[in-house]
Chain A
Amino acid sequence: MKSIVLALLFAGVSLASLANGHNPIGDRSEKGAAEVKYIAANNGEFFFNVVYNNTTGSKFSVAILDESGDQIYQNFFSDKKFDKKFKLADPESFGKLTFIIRNYGDNSVQRFEVNSSNHLVEDVEVKEVK
């Protein structure tokens, strides 16, 4: 049940930015090769950018699994130049994710593992009180 809720949240906050015309990120992606990038914003938020150059326009799926292997997101697409940003509904608790791009035209599967770790950094300022 938790996974379903997470999946819905994930789908809800995913930011659609499908390729239109010139797409510099998509151009970097090799033919048929997918790319998953972690992008951190200045305000502390982050998202994952999935780019897939699906030259044949065949049907493919993007699935995201959490660290337990539970599927938290899946959707089907057929865009020739796929470029979509995914934002986590619960960014604090994420430790490991797996992105799976499965193409039903050529039966290819590409997997990306995302590992996250947090480090606490302390800045200490000591000033003498005059």
Chain B
Amino acid sequence: MKSLITAHFGKLILATTFLLVLTTAHARSTIANTGFADTAATVKYLGTQDDMLVFNVSYANPDGSRFSLTVKDQDGTQLYQGLFNEKTFYKQFRLPKSDKDRIVFVFRDFRDADIVKAFDVNVNSRLIREVAVKQIN
């Protein structure tokens, strides 16, 4: 029971951390006006910064209807969820890279099928040894 509480608490902390590092930016006007087709949603991996995975997410929502964006990890654990109605939506997500194998972005407009954008994350760690030899006399 205690471990279950600890596990849930851990996930809550992780989700909170994720929300804290989420940065919002206003929509860009260059997003194509393509309705609720798959092309309406764009998720771009930008790289890492300060040990965080950075994703740019945009969504073209020309009629300004309500939609949700959910971010999940490989276990289906919800890392973020938000409801929006911006016509041109743009957000940048920063996600801790540790323990992440897969990041899934789900766009739901409550009318059509969900748009799912999934990313496999592969982190390879290696230890670099630096050795210096100096004569001391």
Residues of chain A having any CB pair with chain B under 8 Å: 36-38, 40, 46, 48, 98, 109-129
Q: A124-B97, A124-B121 are in contact. Are A117 and B130 (CB under 8 A)?
A: yes
* Chain A positions within 8 Å of B48 at CB level: 124
Write out, one digit per residue, whether chain B residues 69-109 have a CB within 8 A of any chain A CB (1) or not (0): 00000000000000000000000000001000011000000
Let me know if A128 and B127 touch, CB within 8 A.
Answer: no
Let me know if B123 and A116 touch, CB within 8 A.
Answer: no
**Total contacts A to B, CB within 8 angstroms?**
91
Let me know if A127 and B127 touch, CB within 8 A.
Answer: no
The 6 closest A-B pairs by CB, nearest first: A129-B118, A38-B131, A125-B122, A126-B45, A123-B124, A119-B128
Beyond the given A122-B125, A126-B45, please list 17 additional residue pairs across the A-B interface where CB-CB is below 8 A: A37-B133, A40-B129, A46-B129, A46-B131, A109-B137, A112-B134, A113-B134, A113-B135, A114-B133, A115-B132, A116-B132, A117-B129, A124-B123, A125-B123, A126-B53, A128-B117, A129-B118
* Chain B positions within 8 Å of A126 at CB level: 45, 53, 103, 119-122
Let me know if A116 and B131 touch, CB within 8 A.
Answer: yes
| Smallest beta-carbon distance B43→chain A, Å | 8
Among residues of A, the one whose C-beta sits closest to the C-beta of B131 is A38
Let me know if A111 and B137 touch, CB within 8 A.
Answer: yes
Among residues of A, the one whose C-beta sits closest to the C-beta of B120 is A127
Let me know if A118 and B133 touch, CB within 8 A.
Answer: no
- A111 and B48 alpha carbons, distance in the complex (Å): 44
Among residues of A, the one whose C-beta sits closest to the C-beta of B128 is A119
- A46 and B136 alpha carbons, distance in the complex (Å): 22
Let me know if A113 and B127 touch, CB within 8 A.
Answer: no
Q: A119-B127, A122-B124, A125-B124 are in contact. Are A111 and B135 (CB under 8 A)?
A: yes
